[in-house]
A = this chain, B = another copy of it.
């Protein structure tokens, strides 16, 4: 598997995830459809034109989920037991159709479970959109996972 076992996470290390995605109108609509989210700010162009954003916003949980998805190959692909929590999920800047998103993860903390058989790892995940000059931060959160140890993996 491509992900890291508990032993391979190193506190303080930042991982820049390679894959990026240009978020389309279809992505935003498909996400809203599958999650039964009918918020007009995401789906109604005429409504959104009258808000301070001026156009439809990409669903924030989509950006969070995309950042997580982009991070999987370098973090927990096949090496996770479960996600324990997501905290402090914020969206400092809006995402619009056509924005290209990339992500990075920084390992904040790791500790073994009390039985020593698994590990708990906390990462800060940040997503940015490609811009002119500095790339705005569009989503950030802490992700805490229960990770397999290599020595106990099958």
Least distance between A72 CB and chain B CB atoms (Å): 5
**Closest Cβ neighbor of A37 among chain B residues:** B69
Are B82 and A40 closer than 8 Å at their CB atoms? no
Q: Which residue of B lies closest to A69 (CB)?
A: B37
Q: Is A120 an interface position by the 8 A CB rule? A: no
Secondary structure dominating the interface of A: mixed
Size class of the A contact interface (CB-based, 8 Å)? 35 or more
Distance, CA A47 to CA B79, complexed state (A)? 11
- Complex: how many Å from CA A76 to CA B39? 8
* A47-B86 contact in complex given A35-B66, A65-B61, C-beta closer than 8 Å: no
Chain B hits for A68, CB < 8 A = 35, 37, 61
Say how far A16's CB is from chain B's closest CB, in angstroms. 16
